[in-house]
Amino acid sequence: GKQIFSSKTEFRISALKFHPTESNVFICGGFSPEVKAWDIRTSKVLRVHKAAVQQTLDILFLPEGREFLTSTDAVSRDSADRTIVAWDFQSAAKISNQIFHERYTCPSLTLHPKESVFVAQTNGNYMALFSAQRPYRINKKKRYEGHKVEGFAVGCEFSPDGTLLVTGSSDGKVFFYNYHTSRIIRTLSAHKEACVSAIFHPVLPSLLATCDWAGEIKIWQ
């Protein structure tokens, strides 16, 4: 293949997402207070988003890409500000850091494919539902719990039609939740190690890929 981009950051990258409408632009973050937007055509940084954190855990673009969210490691005994931060992509301005007020980090974020909501996986062993529009309020009536996170970077994702929410679990299982009722529909005993990712095929909704902490990958039908 032809290499079209090469560059280095001063920090170890742990999250990278392409812009939903600008295919040449991506954002990356990791073990640094900075989140950087890059242009693959020039291999140069477009802008830098900087917060008072040590690590960015995940990045989520909101619809159309004008705004994006970062989840961070910034949680203290007294405050949960900066756990999820909303940014304006063009200006690099911080929109809000008062989104999630419980003292748990959120290792992964996922956007609903049809509705203006997103889900945050939390280290409180539950997934929280939020509005994807300002001021990004939490839905206190819905909470997806039953699986375990326990410090692992457990990923979660909606099915392509938005009816299911799937997540891994630190005990190696995969949990399927009904998005509307937040009830568990099914579980799979997928791995011996912690299951850190479960992803639907983008075209064939009957296919699911899972992987565990030790690097084992499985495809399910």
pLDDT tens string 2-24:
777 777 788 899 999 999 999 99
Residues 24 and 130 in one domain: no
Q: Are residues 117 and 127 in the same domain?
A: yes
Lowest-confidence range among 2-11, 20-29, 109-118? 2-11
Q: Give the domain extent around 87.
A: 1-99
Give CA–CA dist 82/62, Å, rounded: 18
Query: The whole model's pTM is what?
Result: 0.92
Query: Does residue 184 share a domain with residue 119?
Result: yes
**Same domain for 179 and 86?**
no
The predicted pLDDT at position 116 comes to 97
Residue after which a domain boundary falls, among 99, 133, 152: 99
4 and 82, same domain (yes or no) = yes
Residue 150 belongs to domain with CATH number:
2.130.10.10
Domain limit, last residue, from 70, 99, 128: 99
Give me the CATH number covering residue 1. Answer: 2.120.10.30
Phi and psi (nearest 5°) for 64?
75, -10
pLDDT on residue 79: 56
127-184 pLDDT, tens digit each? 999 999 999 999 999 999 999 999 999 999 999 999 999 999 999 999 999 999 999 9
Residue 201 shares a structural domain with residue 129: yes
111/92 same-domain check: no
Mark whether 133 and 153 lie in a shared domain: yes
- Tally of structural domains, the chain: 2
User: Which of 42, 72, 99 lies at the terminal end of a domain, its last residue?
Assistant: 99
Among 53, 49, 73, which Cα is nearest to 61's? 49
Ranked by mean pLDDT, which of 10-19, 48-57, 169-178, 200-209 comes out on top? 169-178
Residue 35 has pLDDT above 60, yes or no: yes
One domain, residues 114 and 144: yes
* CA distances (Å), origin 19, targets 6, 37, 43, 100, 159: 18, 9, 15, 24, 21
3-class secondary-structure state, position 63: helix
Do 124 and 68 sit in the same domain of this protein? no
Burial of residue 8 (number of CB atoms within 10 Å: 0-12, 13-18, 19+):
exposed
157 with 49, same domain: the answer is: no
87 and 138 housed in the same domain: no
Query: What tokens appear for 212 in the block?
Result: 């565990």
